[in-house]
Amino acid sequence: EVQLVESGGGLVQPGESLRLSCAAAGFTLSNFWMIWVRQAAGRGLEWVAYLGPAGKDISYVDSVAGRFTISRDNARSSLFLQMNSLRTEDTAVYYCVRGSPYCRGGACRLAFDFWGQGTLVTVSS
């Protein structure tokens, strides 16, 4: 059974840092794209970052680029999100998500097929 368990959320002040972790089980992490998605209270979903299986393909939403870093430790089946210079607008539940590729017309893209339960990050003074 695929499981994704996030940890590391909490209350921090603006400008501080936090590191989120995601423990993966039930599949081989090194074979999959991994993603972070966040959701502010009462709001919709926002993709934050993705990381390819080999660790080379990385992308961030503009609002976190330069402040957040996604990384992985395949040997420990873990995904991380280092969040620096946190802002109040980063307050949200952060989900660790597995991405599975599908191909149409010679091109391949991702579907987010398994989600963790989320960890709450609150940035407030």
Partner 1 sequence: DIQMTQSPSSLSTSVGDRVAITCRASQSISSFLNWYQQKPGKAPKLLIYAASTLQSGVPSRFSGSGSGTDFTLTISSLQPEDFATYYCQQGYSSPLTFGGGTKVEIK
Give the x/- contact pattern for partner 1 in 73-102, rule: CB under 8 A: ----------------------x------x
Q: How far apart are CA 26 and CA 89, in angstroms?
A: 33
> Of 39, 40, 62, nearest to 49 (Cα)?
62
User: Exposed (0-12), middle (13-18) or buried (19+): which is 94, by Cβ within 10 Å?
Assistant: buried
Q: Going by C-beta distance under 8 Å and a sequence separation of 6 or more, which residues neighbour residue 14?
A: 86, 87, 88, 123, 124, 125
Stretch that binds partner 1, among 22-30, 67-75, 81-89, 106-114 (CB under 8 A): 106-114
Stretch that binds partner 1, among 17-25, 42-50, 67-75, 76-84 (CB under 8 A): 42-50
Q: Specify the residue, 23 or 61, whose C-beta has the smaller distance to partner 1.
A: 61
Please give the residues from 9 up to 38 whose contact with partner 1 meets the rule CB under 8 A. 37
Footprint of partner 1 (CB under 8 A): 37, 44-47, 50, 59, 61-62, 95, 102, 104-105, 107, 109-118
